[in-house]
Amino acid sequence: MREINYNNYFWQDDQVRLRALREEDWENHYYNRFDSPARRLLECAVELPPTNAEAKKFTEAFSDFSLDRGRIMFTIENMDGENVGGVNLNSIDERNGTFSIGIQIDRDHRGKGYGTRAIRILLKYAFFERRLNKFNDCVLEGNEPSAAMMRKLGCVEEGVRRQVIYTDGKYRDLLLFGLTKNEFIDKEGLA
């Protein structure tokens, strides 16, 4: 197989690269399902114990970029080609120009900026290639790393949905964040 020249590749910056899910990515999905605190923040619930079959089925279902499943999934790699997490574009509303992004960075790779960089790449795609206008997201109360990442990306905290998630024996708030295309352009200096 020929060596790939990534010099002009849209789906990367100088530290991360987004790529399609591969069959072998099921192992990372399976591994990450054992990080219950992180999964609770992501899914707002405790999931049933992971299985190899579920992990393989998930990877297979999202490896073709089909919008039939409601989200476009990517694997995040560092520049050494190591799988460091996953990110997806979801809740796409073409009529109103809105969307959301979901992300999970593997426990061993958190705090290195990979998540922020991956989301920035997806924001460029959504705003400049898909002609979407507004990124909406929410963060479970207590998920300070994700809230800090939203702020770092330039998102505005737009409100709080009070006590809408029941997990770990109590009701929790969702912090609502948003970012428009013009705010992104200004923040990134792309004007």
Q: What is the rounded CA–CA span in Å between residue 36 and residue 33? A: 7
Q: Provide the pLDDT for residue 123.
A: 98
Pairing between β-strand 16-19 and β-strand 71-78 as defined by DSSP bridges: antiparallel
Could you tell me the CA-to-CA distances from 149 to 24, 83, 145 in Å, in that order? 29, 20, 6
Specify the 3-state DSSP secondary structure of 89.
Answer: strand
- Tell me the β-bridge partners of 74: 87
The pLDDT tens digits of the residues spanning 70-114 come to 789 999 999 999 999 999 999 999 999 999 999 999 999 999 999
pLDDT of residue 161 exceeding 70, the answer is yes
Provide the percentage of residues in the chain whose pLDDT is more than 70.
98
Average pLDDT over residues 157-179: 97
The pLDDT tens digits of the residues spanning 18-51 come to 999 998 999 988 888 898 888 888 888 888 999 9
The pTM (predicted TM-score) of the whole model is 0.91
- Encoding tokens for residue 175? 């912090």
Q: Provide the pLDDT for residue 187.
A: 96
Average pLDDT over residues 175-185: 98
How far from chain centre, in Å, is Cα 4?
A: 25
Q: Which of 51, 52, 53, 33 is nearest to 43 (CA)?
A: 33
Q: What is the rounded CA–CA span in Å between residue 106 and residue 121? A: 18
Q: Provide the pLDDT for residue 99.
A: 97
Q: What is the rounded CA–CA span in Å between residue 55 and residue 153? A: 30
Q: What is the rounded CA–CA span in Å between residue 125 and residue 136? A: 15
Average pLDDT over residues 134-142: 97
**Helical pair 181-188 and 114-128, crossing angle rounded to 10 deg:** 130
